[in-house]
Amino acid sequence: MKRRDFHKMLLGTGAALPFLDGLLNGAASAATPDGGLVTIIQPEPPILVLPLNQQTPTGTVGGKIYESLLTFDFDLTPQPQLATSWEVSEDGLTYTFHLVENAKWHDGEPFTAADVVFSCDVMLKEVHPRARANFDRCESITAPDDYTVVFQLKEPFAPFILAFEASSAPIAPKHVYEGSDYRNNPANDKPIGTGPFMLNEWARGSYIHLTAFEDYYVEGQPGLTEIYYKIVPDAASRSVALETGEANLAQWNDIEPFDVQRVAGLPNMELTTKGYEFFSPMAWYELNLRKEPLNDVRFRKAMMYLLDRNFIVDNIVFGLGQVATGPIATTTRFYDGDVPKYEKDVDKAIALLDEMGLAPDGDGVRVKLTYTIPPYGEVMTRIAEFFRQSMAEGGIEITLLSTDMAGWAQAISNWDYDISSNMLYQFGDPALGVARTYISSNIRKGVLFSNTEGYENPKVDELFAKAAVATSDEERQALYSEVQKILVDELPVLWTYEAQYPTIYDSSLKDLIVGATGANGNFAKAHWG
Q: Is residue 511 part of a domain?
A: yes
**Number of domains present in the structure of the chain:** 3
Q: Is the pLDDT of residue 17 over 70?
A: no
Q: Give the residue-averaged pLDDT of 453-476.
A: 96
**Amino acid found at 357:** G
Q: Is the pLDDT of residue 7 over 70?
A: no
Give the DSSP letter string of 302-366.
Answer: HHHHT--HHHIIIIISTTSEEE--SSS-TTSTT----S------HHHHHHHHHHTT----TTS--
Q: 133 and 122 in contact (C-beta within 8 Å)? A: no
Condensed to tens digits (0 to 9), the pLDDT of residues 184-201 reads 999 999 999 999 999 999
480 shares a domain with 376: yes
Q: Is residue 248 part of a domain?
A: yes
The CATH number given to whatever domain includes residue 208 is 3.40.190.10
pLDDT, residue 30, reads: 29
494 shares a domain with 521: no
Element housing 145 (H / E): strand 138-145
Q: Is residue 398 part of a domain?
A: yes
Q: Is the pLDDT of residue 377 over 90?
A: no
Condensed to tens digits (0 to 9), the pLDDT of residues 235-285 reads 899 999 999 999 999 999 899 999 999 999 999 999 999 999 999 999 999
Q: Is residue 150 part of a domain?
A: yes
pLDDT, residue 129, reads: 81
Q: Is residue 182 part of a domain?
A: no
Considering only residues 380 and 8, tell me which one the structure prediction assigns the higher pLDDT.
380
Q: Is residue 75 part of a domain?
A: yes
Q: 260 and 504 in contact (C-beta within 8 Å)? A: yes
pTM, full prediction = 0.84
Phi, psi dihedral angles at 292 (to 5 degrees): -80, 150
In whole angstroms, give the CA distance from residue 70 to residue 79. 6
Strand stretches in 15-124, DSSP E:
36-41, 70-72, 78-80, 83-88, 94-99
56 shares a domain with 106: no
Residue 251 has a CB neighbour count (10 Å cut-off) of 23
210 shares a domain with 61: yes
272 shares a domain with 286: no
203 shares a domain with 347: no
The CATH number given to whatever domain includes residue 150 is 3.90.76.10
Q: Name the nearest CA neighbour of 428 among 252, 323, 274, 277.
A: 277
Q: Is residue 421 part of a domain?
A: yes
Q: Is residue 93 part of a domain?
A: yes
Least confident of 20-24, 44-48, 97-101: 20-24
Least confident of 132-141, 287-296, 477-486: 132-141
Q: Which domain holds residue 10?
A: 3-65+195-276+502-528
Least confident of 214-218, 422-426, 484-488, 492-496: 422-426
120 shares a domain with 219: no
Q: Is the pLDDT of residue 25 over 80?
A: no
Q: Give the residue-averaged pLDDT of 65-82.
A: 97
293 shares a domain with 271: no
The CATH number given to whatever domain includes residue 396 is 3.10.105.10
pLDDT, residue 169, reads: 97
Band (11; pLDDT cuts 50, 70, 90): very low
Q: Is the pLDDT of residue 325 over 90?
A: yes
Band (34; pLDDT cuts 50, 70, 90): low
Condensed to tens digits (0 to 9), the pLDDT of residues 393-429 reads 999 999 999 998 778 989 999 999 999 999 999 999 9
441 shares a domain with 302: yes
Q: 193 and 494 in contact (C-beta within 8 Å)? A: no
Q: Is the pLDDT of residue 19 over 90?
A: no
Q: Is the pLDDT of residue 152 over 70?
A: yes
200 shares a domain with 55: yes
CA angle 511, 241, 250 (to 5 degrees): 35
Considering only residues 29 and 337, tell me which one the structure prediction assigns the higher pLDDT.
337
423 shares a domain with 449: yes
390 shares a domain with 464: yes
Element housing 150 (H / E): strand 148-153
